[in-house]
Amino acid sequence: MDRSSRHGTIPASSSAPRVVDVLVPVAIDHAYSYRVPRGMEVRPGEVVTVPLGPREVVAVVWAGNPAPDPRLHNRLKDISGKLDVPPLRDELRTLIDWVANYTLSPRGMVMRMSLRMGEHLGPERVRPGVRLSGEPPRRMTPARRRLLAVLSDGLLRAKSDAAREAGVSAGVVDGLVDEGTLTTEPMPRSPPPPPPDPDFAVPDFSRSQRAAVDAMRALASNGTFHVALLDGVTGSGKTEVYFEAVAETVRRGRQVLILMPEIALTGQFRDRFAARFGERPLEWHSELTPRNRARNWAAIAAGEAQVVVGARSALFLPYADLGLIIIDEEHDQAYKQDEGVRYHARDMAVVRAHVAKIPIILASATPSVESEVNARKGRYQRIALTSRFGGQHLPRIELIDLRREGPSRGRFISPRLAGEIVTAIERREQALLFLNRRGYAPLTLCRGCGHRFACTICDAWLVDHRFRDRLVCHHCGFSMPRPHQCPHCAAEQSLVAVGPGVERLQEEAAALFPDARTMVLSSDLITSIETMRSELNDIAEGRVDIIIGTQLVAKGHHFPRLNLVGVVDADLGLGNGDPRAAERTFQLLNQVIGRTGREQGRGVGYLQTHQPEHPVMKALVAGDREAFYASEIAARERTGYPPFGRLASLIISAGDRPSAESFARQLAAVAPVDERIQVLGPAEAPLALIKGRYRFRLLVKSARGVDLSGYLRDWLASAPKTRGNLKLEVDVDPQSFL
């Protein structure tokens, strides 16, 4: 069913040139008018190329323009060509308009996310193939002999493949083509990916899973807009359960999108999918090569790819017939894109599902407060899995009070935790040391003069990365070799590392447990999805005793022999002034401890903390999730924070501090008065300097039902314009308050 055909083609009037509005993929909001050349038929949604200044760009016809301004006629340019790909459907164009309007992003930039492969777009290139003709070569060489041997089966091979298999250069192949020994033929287009088989390996579901499985199948077969929160404790089998909704949708011949918070997770996930469906799903993320990107895009647009697993940008792809969306780990803050178009992929996925009239499943063991409230109010259907699969118990959690039983100075693993790790290894189980901090140490200082190494263009300390032997800024990526001398007082050997990162923990673990095999997992050490996959396999197959990792290991993994997690600094996320600090800490710690005790024995998590009285710690120890949500929801309600109120932030930055501050003040001064809306600030941002830019923030707070985007748009329309290097960024529903 092609919904865009409802609009039909844009009618040609007899004399005046036909004009259409075309959205170009640049930072502007409105579409430009272009003339349709004689003999070309275009419909809204069609992908075209148009001249834009000195360039040719791939763009999309957004609407007909039946009454163009006659004064423009002579100045309008022609559409250059049409791409042989399906038009962007109404559904996707509506989403693009909606997201642009909601986030206050230029529509062209939102649309660009749907055309992410730019010039690689278009039908796949035809590759030349070669085959033996029967004509003998005039002259024989060893290289020619090898090539003929490879082709002796008479099959057609891509030219490059034939050369590679025979170990000869392309010139050898061309030579034999010229002599008529080989004939050339175009290679057939690569076949579409084989479809997943919904009945390949259906698991036996446990009694407690069965109700959820039935609910999944029902929701998929109803096929209407509906939001379900699949709320299942860690290890309950959420993935197996939502696979049944996938299977049902695939049986109906419609497409499924599964979003993951982190692309490093997609490798393992695709293997697991293949175990259930016999085939790996198509993937979509920033690590794809341009060629795979173009191929996957085309397969998705043609409806040949039935299941797509991807990072948040996969939400904007032109699915031919999307029938279901799944958001795995829906609470994860990685779903918020914090630059360019600032959107929350979970929330916008709900919008897409609504526009497309299809079901969406949000899965989590620790739902976001937003989704939890929606489930409590009945706006989302809660589908619960309250126990672990296979009768395993949920982990037990104990606190280690660092004020009383902490490690000695310069050490980070307390004696009690170290003792438990020894016992675990003796039992041939694995242990995970969790610390959400990359590198060796967050701060380096000179013992002689107190000099601290800071980034010169950011308000941040340089982080010591010993494996790379450099000091690195985590905000701008600046790095320098680790110095051997203080640049300030010239003292030699005077630099000390302050505080721990995962690399330093590994050093300590090696000293404490000299016979144990350790592995560090952190995003800066993972070079590709493939290396991540092989390291995770090493862990799953027991080739590692102690895993030392950042939040990368907290998510979604299943390590059969892991029964102990030591959280080195449980307080790390609590003290940063973020209104969601408690929620995030609760989610992250729950999730990481949830990696334990998944197959045999009871898992246990140790939280090293300075704040054993903190409500988050108490809720974790008591295993009392209800208490946590109840107090957090009450606090949000009291303060009018989301989801009981709405927030937006305006970030003003400039190359010098006074310009940024004075513009922020001018902006605040012209905020329209509305008794339902409060404008707070400007205040210097917690990260006051990033990449050489000074930053101020305004926080806009409103009641729940207010059209905050509309308010912001009116405000900014009447505000002074940014000039010079002043920049104003709008973040609706901010997740980061730095």
Ligand X SMILES: Nc1ncnc2c1ncn2[C@@H]1O[C@H](COP(=O)(O)OP(=O)(O)OP(=O)(O)O)[C@@H](O)[C@H]1O
Nearest 5°: phi and psi at 490? 65, 10
Q: Which does 464 bind (CB under 5 to 8 A by kind): ligand X, Zn ion, none?
A: none
| 455 annotated binding-site participant | yes
Indicate the residue type of 639. Answer: T
8 A C-beta contact, residue 494 and residue 443:
no
Q: Which does 323 bind (CB under 5 to 8 A by kind): Zn ion, ligand X, none?
A: none
Quick one: 232 or 566, whose CB is closer to ligand X?
232
Tokens (6 digits) for 177: 């083509």
Give the DSSP per-residue string, 219-265.
HHHH-SSEEEEEEE-TTS-HHHHHHHHHHHHHHTT-EEEEE-S-GGG
Smallest separation (angstroms) from ligand X to the CB of 43? 43
| 716 annotated binding-site participant | no
| 22 annotated binding-site participant | no
Please choose, from the candidates 266, 270, 288, 268, the residue with its C-alpha nearest in 3D space to the C-alpha of residue 279.
270
Between CA 335 and CA 730 the distance in angstroms is 17
Smallest separation (angstroms) from ligand X to the CB of 174? 52
Q: Which does 476 bind (CB under 5 to 8 A by kind): Zn ion, ligand X, none?
A: Zn ion
Please choose, from the candidates 683, 645, 689, the residue with its C-alpha nearest in 3D space to the C-alpha of residue 667.
683
**Of 83-91, 254-262, 472-480, 715-723: span binding Zn ion (CB under 5 A):** 472-480
Q: Which does 603 bind (CB under 5 to 8 A by kind): Zn ion, ligand X, none?
A: none
Please choose, from the candidates 30, 503, 556, the residue with its C-alpha nearest in 3D space to the C-alpha of residue 270.
556
Helix axes 170-178, 159-166, angle to 10 degrees: 120
216-235 footprint of ligand X as x/- string (CB under 6 A): ----------------x-xx
The residue from 439, 556, 603, 682 that contacts ligand X (CB under 6 A) is 556
Please choose, from the candidates 20, 18, 70, 9, the residue with its C-alpha nearest in 3D space to the C-alpha of residue 48.
20
> From the DSSP assignment, how many helices (H) and strands (E) are in the chain?
20, 30
Q: Within 442-471, which residues bind Zn ion (CB under 5 A)?
A: 455, 458
Quick one: 475 or 517, whose CB is closer to Zn ion?
475
Between CA 600 and CA 393 the distance in angstroms is 9
Quick one: 106 or 237, whose CB is closer to ligand X?
237
The residue from 4, 65, 236, 590 that contacts ligand X (CB under 6 A) is 236
Q: Is 239 in the site for ligand X (CB under 6 A)?
A: yes
Smallest separation (angstroms) from ligand X to the CB of 201? 10
Q: Is 473 in the site for Zn ion (CB under 5 A)?
A: yes
Smallest separation (angstroms) from Zn ion to the CB of 655? 15
Q: Is 687 in the site for Zn ion (CB under 5 A)?
A: no
Tell me how crowded residue 183 is: count the other CB atoms within 10 A of its CB: 15
Smallest separation (angstroms) from ligand X to the CB of 344? 21
* Total residue length of the chain: 738
Between CA 724 and CA 717 the distance in angstroms is 18
| 489 annotated binding-site participant | yes
Between CA 583 and CA 323 the distance in angstroms is 32
CA dist 139 → 136, 165, 181 (Å): 9, 21, 11
Q: Which does 605 bind (CB under 5 to 8 A by kind): Zn ion, ligand X, none?
A: none
Q: Which does 478 bind (CB under 5 to 8 A by kind): ligand X, Zn ion, none?
A: Zn ion
Instruction: Detail the DSSP E strand segments found in 342-392.
Output: 359-364, 381-385
Smallest separation (angstroms) from Zn ion to the CB of 656? 17
**Of 12-20, 146-154, 238-246, 502-510: span binding ligand X (CB under 6 A):** 238-246
8 A C-beta contact, residue 101 and residue 709:
yes
| 486 annotated binding-site participant | yes
Q: Is 203 in the site for ligand X (CB under 6 A)?
A: yes
CA dist 296 → 124, 248, 281, 318 (Å): 11, 23, 11, 11
Q: Is 558 in the site for ligand X (CB under 6 A)?
A: yes
CA dist 236 → 241, 266, 346, 392 (Å): 9, 20, 22, 9
Quick one: 134 or 391, whose CB is closer to ligand X?
391
Please choose, from the candidates 205, 310, 299, 201, the residue with its C-alpha nearest in 3D space to the C-alpha of residue 247.
201
Buried b (16+ CB within 10 A) or exposed e, 439-470: bbbbebbbeeeebebbbeebbbbbbbbbebeb
Quick one: 102 or 389, whose CB is closer to ligand X?
389
Q: Which residue is nearest to ligand X (CB)?
A: 237
153-192 footprint of ligand X as x/- string (CB under 6 A): ----------------------------------------
Helix axes 369-376, 625-639, angle to 10 degrees: 90
**Of 94-102, 381-389, 473-481, 629-637: span binding Zn ion (CB under 5 A):** 473-481
Bridge partners of residue 463, in order along the sequence = 472
For the chain, how big is the Rg over CA atoms in Å? 29
Indicate the residue type of 681. Answer: G
361-380 footprint of ligand X as x/- string (CB under 6 A): ----x---------------
Quick one: 324 or 648, whose CB is closer to ligand X?
324
Instruction: Give the N- to C-terminal CA distance of the chain in Å, as an integer.
Output: 46
Smallest separation (angstroms) from ligand X to the CB of 20? 47
Quick one: 3 or 272, whose CB is closer to ligand X?
272
The residue from 78, 128, 205, 475 that contacts ligand X (CB under 6 A) is 205
**Of 205-213, 335-343, 423-431, 446-454: span binding ligand X (CB under 6 A):** 205-213
| 446 annotated binding-site participant | yes
User: How many residues in the shown chain lie near ligand X by CB under 6 A?
Assistant: 18
SS3 623: coil
The residue from 231, 240, 262, 569 that contacts ligand X (CB under 6 A) is 240
Q: Which does 346 bind (CB under 5 to 8 A by kind): Zn ion, ligand X, none?
A: none
The residue from 107, 116, 238, 352 that contacts ligand X (CB under 6 A) is 238
Smallest separation (angstroms) from ligand X to the CB of 390? 6
Q: Which residues contact 66 (CB under 8 A, 6 or more apart)?
A: none
Q: Within 576-615, which residues bind ligand X (CB under 6 A)?
A: 594
Label the pairing between strands 55-64 and 47-52.
antiparallel
Q: Is 395 in the site for ligand X (CB under 6 A)?
A: no
The residue from 274, 384, 454, 476 that contacts Zn ion (CB under 5 A) is 476
The footprint of ligand X (CB under 6 A) covers: 203-206, 209, 232, 234-240, 365, 389, 556, 558, 594
Interface residues with Zn ion (CB under 5 A) are 455, 458, 473, 475-476, 478
Annotated binding site for Zn(2+): 446, 449, 455, 458, 473, 476, 486, 489
Binding residues: 446, 449, 455, 458, 473, 476, 486, 489
